[in-house]
Amino acid sequence: MMQIEPIQPKTLTGGAPLSAADKLEQAFLEEMLKYCGPSASEGGFSGGAGEEQFSSFLTREHAGQMARRLDLGFAGLLEGRA
């Protein structure tokens, strides 16, 4: 008899919770990505209204991943070590 192992869901955030400085960096990066990040597709291969409605979630996730990997120095500014 064949045994099928249960599927374990992966975490979407991929790591520890963001610190206050990382959350600030995420918000900053999210605003920057709104203007210079990937734009919505057009034409036959676009996601249509659904892509427009949910693109902010993808932008937020991209900004969160970038905040985990980059150090913009916001932690030093928040602690007064500028």
- Token duo for residue 79: 């602690």
Could you read off the pLDDT of 24-82 as tens digits, one per residue? 888 999 999 988 877 766 767 777 777 778 888 888 998 888 888 888 888 777 777 65
- Token duo for residue 19: 């610190």
**pTM strictly above 0.95:** no
Residues 6+ apart with CB under 8 A from 40: 46, 47, 51, 52, 55
